Amino acid sequence: VIGLGLILLSAGCSAANQTAALAFSSTGTLIYRRGGGSAPARITTVEWLDEAGKRQPLLAKPGAYSDLRLAPDGRRLALLLNGADHGIVVSDPQRDATTRLASGGGLYSTPIWTPDGSYVVFSVFNAGSFWTRADGAGQPQPLTQIGAPWSFSPDGKHLAYYDLEPPGINQLWTAPVGEQGGQLKAGKAEQFLKSQSQDNHPVFSPDGHWLAYQSNPSGNDEIYVRPFPPPASSEGALSQ
């Protein structure tokens, strides 16, 4: 096809990932949401569920919340605000206080805590991962050039994340991380596993010796576990 593109319609976009809210049927019919701007963010409530099944509100007001992560001390909550107030915040329900860590200038997601609760690491679309102090002091700083951070090892020395690789599949990576003069620094990243499957959401075990993740080699999303660090040949070192 050669020539200039034509504007066919004005379609809205998703508030979650800023993609166009449209689709084609198998017969060629186009369905779309009319108008510009983003779809209204979904309003949710955040509740605490105890072992007895009792629920109580954790945040006082409903909001456009997602990507919730409890701090290691269980007292604070890192989360993503969607919609007009898009950004990363830390909520302290006991103090009824909210601290904004990042806003404006990017599409944020996947906030995670360092094991000591001092820092929050998060992803910025097409910009990699960033770290910032959990108390809101200072500005976010770059940590890795690629990937969506998902889990720290219990000792805080390794970060596990996933990143989109050719030909369009997510793959698992790990990187050593250390603190130097109040700054988080990441070392050389290594691909944890090379596969032809969509590998996502790597989580370290409590002892740091295993990495659990989601993958779909069978055609269905399932949970797999491999040792960390991986053996020289990771073939066969797999539990499902």
Mean pLDDT calculated for residue range 78-89: 91
Paired residues of 66 in beta bridges:
80
Q: Side chain identity at 218, as an amino acid letter? A: S
Mean pLDDT across the chain:
83
pTM beyond 0.75: yes
Are 67 and 77 in contact, with CB atoms under 8 Å apart? no
**Residue 145: C-alpha distances to residues 31, 123, 148, 222, 225 (Å):** 36, 10, 10, 28, 26
**In which band, very low, low, confident or very high, does the pLDDT at 22 lie, cut at 50, 70 and 90?**
low
Please say if the pLDDT value at position 33 is more than 60.
no
- What pLDDT shows up at residue 6? 41
The answer for residues whose C-beta is within 8 angstroms of residue 29's C-beta and 6 or more apart is none
**In which band, very low, low, confident or very high, does the pLDDT at 105 lie, cut at 50, 70 and 90?**
confident
Mean pLDDT calculated for residue range 151-163: 96
pLDDT tens profile 199-215:
999 999 999 999 999 99
Residue 229 preceded by cis peptide, ω within 30: yes
Sign of the CA dihedral running 158, 48, 132, 62: positive
Mean pLDDT calculated for residue range 28-41: 55
Please say if the pLDDT value at position 223 is more than 50.
yes
